[in-house]
């Protein structure tokens, strides 16, 4: 597998992250018969994401392994050369991880359409690319103090909204809030579309109040700069970073350079036949009534 950062480096980055707690979680993970072997770095990332709560990290790890196993359509097969839909989405949706962090130590990910044709738009696969990039980034350089996402909606039309599958959206949003090993601090929407109210109505049933408060809609870019320094943004936004096209290409290349990493992540799923207690299934994980179902942890 391509090089990942060493867990010891993460401890150096964050003195609040205790190796003893990670070791305790490692012992616990070995006792979970339905778990694969979980690396120290992955455990440390989960503990960091949960603000050092051991019990919440247990839930995060179980959710991560379980949801990814239950939803291969959203998470598995991260090789663009073997998945035409993934390859096409990488030419439709642009993703850029900005080179600098905010003063709070947050990593910033910017995404916007490259190709505005809604016929080529696949939001489910777009979510997959987002997950792939964030996971690879935090395994390479660490999570920082959290993640901030900027969604530039320029070029969006109502046809993009009609491509959203509410069932798949719900699954990904539950994963984002309960399983992804990163602190999601804020999501900023700029160049918002006229039907933004319909988008918010679609996602509101699937997110917690805390998550809802992290969604920030901007009437203009100047308001964004109150949160994200203008100088750290790409040149198209008046900043000093490289152009979005160059940053998009870097993220594409990161995916192609990390195929072994993504293959390994495909093995990081639960074996429900070995779980002690009730096995998990799609209904127990997600339900179909718009409400959250929490994952129990042994």
Global pTM value: 0.94
Question: What is the reported pLDDT for 72?
Answer: 96
Strand partners of residue 111: 95, 151
Q: Are 160 and 93 in contact (CB under 8 A)?
A: no
Q: Which residues contact 48 (CB under 8 A, 6 or more apart)?
A: 10, 14, 17, 143, 181, 183
Phi/psi at 215 (nearest 5 deg)? -90, 120
Question: What is the reported pLDDT for 298?
Answer: 32
DSSP letter (8 states) at residue 295: P
pLDDT tens for 237-289 read 999 999 999 999 999 999 999 999 999 999 999 999 999 988 787 777 787 54
What dotted CATH number matches 84-259?
Answer: 3.40.525.10
Q: Tokens 């990039």 correspond to what residue?
A: 133
CA-wise closest residue to 160 among 188, 198, 133: 198
Q: Are 262 and 78 in contact (CB under 8 A)?
A: yes
Question: What is the reported pLDDT for 2?
Answer: 65
Residue 261: other Cβ atoms inside 10 A: 20
pLDDT tens for 119-175 read 999 999 999 999 999 999 999 999 999 999 999 999 999 999 999 999 999 999 999
Q: Are 241 and 98 in contact (CB under 8 A)?
A: yes
Question: What is the reported pLDDT for 295?
Answer: 37
Whether residue 209 is predicted with pLDDT greater than 80 in this model: the reply is: yes
Domain map of the chain by residue range?
7-75+265-286, 84-259
């Amino acid at each position: 597998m391509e090089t990942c950062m060493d867990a010891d480096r993460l401890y150096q980055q964050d003195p609040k992250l205790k190796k003893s707690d990670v070791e305790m979680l490692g012992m616990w993970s070995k006792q979970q018969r339905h778990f694969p072997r979980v690396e120290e770095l992955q455990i440390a990332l989960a503990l960091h994401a949960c603000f050092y709560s051991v019990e919440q990290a247990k839930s995060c790890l179980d959710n991560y392994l379980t949801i990814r196993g239950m939803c291969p359509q959203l998470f598995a097969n991260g090789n663009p050369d073997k998945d035409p839909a993934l390859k096409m989405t990488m030419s439709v949706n642009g993703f850029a991880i900005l080179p600098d962090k905010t003063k709070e130590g947050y990593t910033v990910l910017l995404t916007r359409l490259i190709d505005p044709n809604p016929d080529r738009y696949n939001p489910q696969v777009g979510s997959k690319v987002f997950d792939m990039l964030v996971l690879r980034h935090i395994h390479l350089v660490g999570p920082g103090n959290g993640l901030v996402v900027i969604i530039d909606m320029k070029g969006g039309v109502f046809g993009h909204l009609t491509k959203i599958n509410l069932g798949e959206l719900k699954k990904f949003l539950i994963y984002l809030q309960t399983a992804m090993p990163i602190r999601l601090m804020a999501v900023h929407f700029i160049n918002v579309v006229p039907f933004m109210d319909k988008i918010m109505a679609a996602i509101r049933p699937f997110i917690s109040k805390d998550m809802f408060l992290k969604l920030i809609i901007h009437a203009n870019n100047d308001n964004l700069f109150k949160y994200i320094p203008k100088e750290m943004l790409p040149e198209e936004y008046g900043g000093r970073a490289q152009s979005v096209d160059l940053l998009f290409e870097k993220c594409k290349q990161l995916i192609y350079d990390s195929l072994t990493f993504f293959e390994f992540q495909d093995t990081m799923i639960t074996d429900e036949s070995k779980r002690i207690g009730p096995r998990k299934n799609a209904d127990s994980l997600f339900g179909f009534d718009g409400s959250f179902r929490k994952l129990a942890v042994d």
